[in-house]
A and B are shown apart, each in its own frame.
Chain A
Amino acid sequence: DTAVSQTPKYLVTQMGNDKSIKCEQNLGHDTMYWYKQDSKKFLKIMFSYNNKELIINETVPNRFSPKSPDKAHLNLHINSLELGDSAVYFCASSQFDRMVLGYTFGSGTRLTVV
């Protein structure tokens, strides 16, 4: 039973399209995150939600919009996809008052924009 699951695992799409990546966690955590791993393998935070409230919003183009319908879900919608959006996107979750225990990551979504 996967703790943090992301769908799809692979996504190939054309420039200009709009796409969504879904994430669900069954750990009972109250905080969820989206990280982007670029071609240089650098893992960089994009967004964080705590109890459905946006608490971290890094410098990310506003073509990227996260949505958290409830504590267990955090989806990422990307409008007008560009070549530079190609990357692996990781969802993660944690318990806000126990972040020192680390995050639990999903297995990633490899997005390729052609």
Chain B
Amino acid sequence: DQQVKQNSPSLSVQEGRISILNCDYTNSMFDYFLWYKKYPAEGPTFLISISSIKDKNEDGRFTVFLNKSAKHLSLHIVPSQPGDSAVYFCAAIHTGTASKLTFGTGTRLQVTL
């Protein structure tokens, strides 16, 4: 039972344009959502997060939007740069006892010149 889903396994975007990565979840108990970025042969690194009480969080070129009613979040990268090429994982957590990060399957972003 996959509670966090990223339905697009890959995405290709031209340098300078906007990259939009999507994520859906099913567990309404999740109260925090995070995005991780992963390069080959490295562990995932934390990128940006959002609380369920907000609908938007921005950090430089990265913005995460949350639509609680649709159980959907998205990560926008503007402008996209070649160094953004990586696998992006959406993750969610219920900040209760023994909470754990539940990950999506990832979206591979390729930023082309």
* CB atoms of A104 and B46 under 8 A apart: yes
Closest to A54 in B: B98
* Complex alpha-carbon distance, A42 and B44, angstroms: 12
* Complex alpha-carbon distance, A55 and B96, angstroms: 12
How many residues on the B side are at the interface (Cβ–Cβ under 8 A)?
25
Count CB-based A-B contacts (< 8 Å): 59
* Complex alpha-carbon distance, A79 and B95, angstroms: 33
* CB atoms of A43 and B44 under 8 A apart: yes
B59 at the interface (CB under 8 A from A): no
* CB atoms of A99 and B95 under 8 A apart: yes
* CB atoms of A48 and B98 under 8 A apart: yes
> A4-44 vs B: 1/0 string, CB under 8 Å?
10000000000000000000000000000101000011111
B25 at the interface (CB under 8 A from A): no
* CB atoms of A41 and B43 under 8 A apart: no
B61 at the interface (CB under 8 A from A): no
Find residues 14-64 in chain B having any chain A CB closer than 8 Å to their own CB.
32, 34, 36, 41-46, 49, 51
B87 at the interface (CB under 8 A from A): yes
B89, B98, B106: which has the most chain A beta carbons within 10 Å?
Answer: B98
* Complex alpha-carbon distance, A103 and B32, angstroms: 13
B93 at the interface (CB under 8 A from A): yes
B100 at the interface (CB under 8 A from A): yes
B85 at the interface (CB under 8 A from A): no
